[in-house]
Amino acid sequence: MDDKKHAWQEQYDATHLRDVPFETMSGVPVDPVFGDAPLPGQYPFTRGLHAAGYRSRLWTMRMFAGFGTAEDTNARFKEILRNGGMGLSTAFDMPTLMGYDSDSPWALGEVGRAGVAVDTLRDMEDLYADIDLGKVSTSMTINGPAAALLAMYIAVGEQGGVAKSDLAGTIQNDILKEYQAQKEYIYPPRPSMRIVTDMIRYTSAEMPKWHPVSISGYHIREAGSTAAQELAFTLANGFAYVEAALAEGQDVDQFGRRLSFFFNAHSDFFEEIGKFRAARRIWARWMKERYGATDERAMMCRFHTQTAGVSLTAQQPENNIARVAIQALSAALGGTQSLHTDSFDEALALPTEKAARIALRTQQVVAHETGVTNVADPLGGAPYVEWMTDEMELQAEAVFAHLDELGNGSILEGVYAGIDNGYFVGEIADAAYRFAREINNDQRIIVGLNEFTDGNDEDETNLLRIDHSVEELQRKRLEAVKQERNSAAVEASLAAIRNAAEDPTVNLMPPIIDAVKTYATEEEISNAMRNVFGTYVEQAIV
Amino acid sequence: MAIESTNTEQPTIRVVLAKLGLDGHDRGIKVVARILRDAGMEVVYLGLRQTTASIVAAAEEEDADAIGLSMHNAGHLALAPSMLAALHDADLDIPLIIGGIIPEADIPILEGSGVAAILGPGAPAEEVVTAVRGAVAART
Amino acid sequence: MSVKKLSVPELVGRALEGDRRAIGRMLTLIERGGEPADEITDLTHPATKGAHVVGITGAPGAGKSTLTGQLIRHLPTLGLKPAVLAVDPSSPLTGGAILGDRVRMDDVAGDGGFIRSVATRGYAGGLALSVPGSVRAFDACGFGPVLIETVGVGQVEVDVAGAADTTVVVVNPGWGDAVQANKAGLLEVADVFVINKADRDGANDTRRDLELMLDLSHVSGLEDGTGYRPPILMTTATDGLGVEAMWEAVTAHQAHLEATSALERRRAARFRYEVASRLTTRMERSIARSLDGLTPDGRSPATVAADLAADLLA
């Protein structure tokens, strides 16, 4: 025990601390940590990844934005940076997320609506115009066509004189949860997995500051899962990526450091905190014991958190500010590395600028006014919190055992099988229906929805309206790019992608980077792979 | 007494449920499918990524009494009219019900264009069932 | 004009001309049963052309819908116009149903084919009536073959699939448990076995298991005494691999049936089964009416039953 305490002290002393007083509002100094070992920064990291917790560095306040054309979103990005946001997070529109261009028949009514439209490198140039990509860290929420978007980001960096080795950020690229929850897939699971492992290999070698996969429970939860299912399915997907990369002969200590996670912060305060703590413990133990990691950095479960969009009500939307504040607090107490707070009007539309600012202010209040950042894992050791952490772990382990059996000793094969036989979607749909029924029977109170409804008939707040002209405008921009580019070069680059797709020993990233530089469109690049890989249709599990 | 054959059952309502376009949010529509099933209806679930043409074909072949579409990506002002136009072109007089995230200001626009009912997020089961039954009854 | 307002003869007339809405409506009336369904039976019966009826059955998740979807993509290239009845169970508690089979077979829309989702509606008699009625309607409207897809778990569903000219039983690698197969009653009704997801480990083991079971069991063709042995095909439905060969096996079975007059026998048996089902349904309804309000009046139950039976059959 003393050794551990001593080791912790050394780590703490070596940490550069923020220049603020670590004391209560009343001026009483507080210790950086309480309780017994293992302490924060020590395996299995239940109590946090860093000895000093948030004393060295607050979480990154990363606000998700994206709508309309690239210029519209670029302006919002600059606004976020001016307001003290520290990282950019890009939301793409549905056609972009699904590998279709703005002029596709599938794009009708969707261009620029739920995010920004990106068809070619030209849009990406405008999206990050006048932002120094060597200074910010960027997160891109895209999965099916992730390789094309990362390629465009690399190309934009190069144009601005930033080498790809200096680009910092995350691309979501978590294709497994698409089949389970979010449903933004293009190809069948196995070829999709090959794209992911190609990207892991490429970034491990060329982009040391880049996180090639953000293994995401967020969408699993939004689709209706329980907290334990979110935890279990997400970590199982993580194990699946690890097994896929190991099968390719990649080094677990190398790529393991680049994996990151993305969780949901919902309203059951202690359950969420237990979930976050259990995630770190489980990941560390599996990486070490099952996958043979020796570098502690490859055992650390780093995660981004977003408050639960699904918890927001369209009724009395201002109440959502309170929900978001409580959820943000659970993420902070759970030790998140970065946080997006939802805007109160998101149950109705994309956030207005004012609502997005209030959301950012909410987490700033948590960070700077509540004092929870003074102590690492302040709830550690509390019997209820420790029990909840153990309980989350227990439930998750039962799921891993099921998948391990399904896959005959391989979690990767178990996850494929669970996608194929509808296990994941079935479990999630059952949980969603149970929750809906509890609300419907008034067994569960949601303020403003089934109780305390006075005020529901008040006038709606101002909503962000995306002008329908965006669609027309974006199509014209795409048309112009197609006119200007060298079509022979485009065709040749697409043929190279097809050839690479047919040969599993070739990494897909280099030909895709070549293709985006010819201004080949995202849909053209996706089609080149659709031709080889086919497309995925899910079975109906309702 | 002679042996006879009569139809003693109440006609079962058949509803086609689908996601039109690319929007992949299917938590709500799956809950609605179960609510309608539990109210004794037959739900033909088409799932994700449907086109107006595939929905029309299903509505014809399944003899749907109502069509329910779920929309969460703010595309409703473009998608709902295109669905109504496709039904009109196919000469199908079937009520169209839209569920999902629809701002209040858009409700009269959609209703004016011929959408039979609109269900917001978190609509209670009773409201969902009543809306479908009402829309079906209004057309028969 | 809405097809709902047409009289039954008008509706059937339009359906026979190929009006898809009319066909859809006609199928609804058949499913509801009763007099309109009987009238449709009478009107469509003369127009039937003897379409080949293929049952496709197997455990949930075996890949039946995907396989059926591949078939209805393949058949038009042979100049055929397939129709599908996709049968799913109704909820025993509420009578409602979620019918999701179209999701994986929806390419047929607009290609001249036709998919209809059918709920079992909770009672054996209903399905036993509506399925042959719908098959007859498809046949009369010029569709062929007619594919009936059911989950082979309940006895009714096995019966329905087994009442086809050719029954295809779909299994997956790892399924090869003779006891399970026999329990499900699938072995006896199979004319063609398909091992779907054949790209998986264990496909060859499953084939061996099935061959062994065929050696030991009384399966349909063998029982006919015609020497027909159900072939075992391998498919990967998600890629469409093996679907052509599967269809060739189905047509080979059809040729066998025709060559041995087994087709006549099967169809005659089906005819008798349908008549029996219709009779049973009519009797059950009449009995229910006779029992309505019946109270003890001193006579013995046997006497009451005999008197009521005399009345009913008068």
Pick the more confident residue, A52 or C120: A52
Closest CA to A145 of A478, A524, A542: A524
Q: Give the B window 90-109 contacts with C, CB below 8 Å.
A: 91-93
Radius of gyration of chain B (CA): 15
User: Taking residues A89-116, what's their average pLDDT?
Assistant: 91
Nearest CA in chain A to B43: A542
Q: Give the C window 247-286 contacts with B, CB below 8 Å.
A: 278, 281-283, 285-286
Nearest CA in chain C to B30: C98
Enumerate the residues of chain A whose CB falls inside 8 A of the CB of residue C238. Answer: 188
The domains of chain A are located at: 53-440, 486-533
For residue C97, report the phi and psi dihedrals to the nearest 5 degrees: -155, 150
* Cα A319 to Cα A161, A308, B122, distances in angstroms: 46, 14, 16
Ranking A266-270, A274-278, B50-54 by mean pLDDT, the lowest is B50-54
Closest CB to A460 among B78, B105, B124: B105
Which pLDDT belongs to residue C215? 81
Q: How far is B75 from chain C (nearest CA, A)?
A: 23
Calculate the dihedral angle through the C-alpha atoms of A300, A301, A303, A309, rounding to the nearest 10 degrees.
Answer: -170
The domains of chain B are located at: 31-139
User: Taking residues A121-142, what's their average pLDDT?
Assistant: 94
Q: How far is C105 from chain A (nearest CA, A)?
A: 10
Enumerate the residues of chain B whose CB falls inside 8 A of the CB of residue A182. Answer: 24
Instruction: List, for residues A309-347, the tens digit of each pLDDT value.
Output: 999 998 999 999 999 999 999 999 999 999 999 999 988
Which pLDDT belongs to residue A67? 76
Q: What's the rounded Cα separation, in Å, for the pair A282 and A274?
A: 12
Question: Is the domain defined by C50-260 classed in CATH 3.40.50.300?
Answer: yes
Residue A298 falls in which region: left (phi positive, over 0), alpha (psi -120 to 50) or beta: alpha
User: What angle (nearest 5°) sits at the alpha carbon of residue A84, between those of residues A80 and A90?
Assistant: 35
Give A538's pLDDT tier (boundaries 50, 70, 90).
Answer: confident
Query: Helix and strand tally (H, E) in chain C?
Result: 13, 8
Joined together, the tokens standing for residue B121 give 């997020």
Percent of chain A with pLDDT over 90: 85
Enumerate the residues of chain B whose CB falls inside 8 A of the CB of residue C281. Answer: 5
User: Taking residues B32-38, what's their average pLDDT?
Assistant: 96
Give yes or no for a cis peptide into C9 (omega within 30° of 0).
no
Q: Do A542 and C98 touch (CB under 8 A)?
A: yes
Joined together, the tokens standing for residue A469 give 């002209």
Give B3's pLDDT tier (boundaries 50, 70, 90).
Answer: very low
Burial class from Cβ neighbours inside 10 Å (0-12, 13-18, 19+) for residue B83 reads buried
3-state secondary structure of C167: strand
B10 touches chain C (CB under 8 A): no
Q: What's the rounded Cα separation, in Å, for the pair B33 and B41?
A: 9
Q: What is the DSSP track for C210-221?
A: HHHHHHHS--HH
Which pLDDT belongs to residue B2? 40
Closest CB to B4 among C115, C119, C282: C282
Give B1's pLDDT tier (boundaries 50, 70, 90).
Answer: very low
Ranking A209-218, A285-294, C197-206 by mean pLDDT, the lowest is C197-206
The correct CATH number of B31-139 out of 3.40.190.10, 3.40.50.280, 3.40.1190.20, 3.40.50.970 is 3.40.50.280
Task: Give how far the C-alpha of residue A528 lies from the chain's centroid of Cα atoms, to the nearest Å.
Answer: 27
Which pLDDT belongs to residue A493? 98
Query: B16: which strand partners?
Result: B44, B67
The domains of chain C are located at: 1-47, 50-260
Q: Do A542 and B45 touch (CB under 8 A)?
A: yes
Q: What's the rounded Cα separation, in Å, for the pair C305 and A314?
A: 63
* Cα B100 to Cα A20, A295, A419, B23, C204, distances in angstroms: 46, 47, 26, 11, 48
pLDDT in tens, chain C (314 residues): 678 889 999 999 999 999 999 999 999 999 998 899 999 999 999 999 999 999 998 877 788 888 999 999 899 999 999 999 998 888 888 889 999 989 888 664 456 789 999 998 865 556 667 899 999 999 999 999 999 998 766 666 667 665 789 999 888 887 555 456 566 677 778 899 999 988 887 888 888 888 888 887 655 445 556 678 889 999 988 788 899 999 999 999 999 999 988 889 889 988 998 898 888 888 888 899 989 989 999 999 999 999 999 988 88
Joined together, the tokens standing for residue A46 give 């239940």
Closest CB to A114 among B27, B33, B73: B73
Q: Give the B window 24-83 contacts with A, CB below 8 Å.
A: 24, 26-27, 30-31, 33-35, 43, 45, 47-49, 51, 73-79, 82
Q: What's the rounded Cα separation, in Å, for the pair A164 and C289?
A: 82
Closest CB to A422 among C61, C98, C101: C61
Percent of chain A with pLDDT over 70: 99
Instruction: List, for residues A476-492, the tens digit of each pLDDT value.
Output: 999 999 999 999 999 99
Joined together, the tokens standing for residue B67 give 């069509």
Which pLDDT belongs to residue A460? 67
Radius of gyration of chain C (CA): 21
Which pLDDT belongs to residue B7? 45
For residue A260, report the phi and psi dihedrals to the nearest 5 degrees: -140, 170
Q: How far is A314 from chain B (nearest CA, A)?
A: 7
Question: Is the domain defined by A53-440 classed in CATH 3.20.20.240?
Answer: yes
Which pLDDT belongs to residue B4? 44
Give A352's pLDDT tier (boundaries 50, 70, 90).
Answer: confident
Q: Does A349 score more than 70 pLDDT?
A: yes
For residue A264, report the phi and psi dihedrals to the nearest 5 degrees: -100, 145
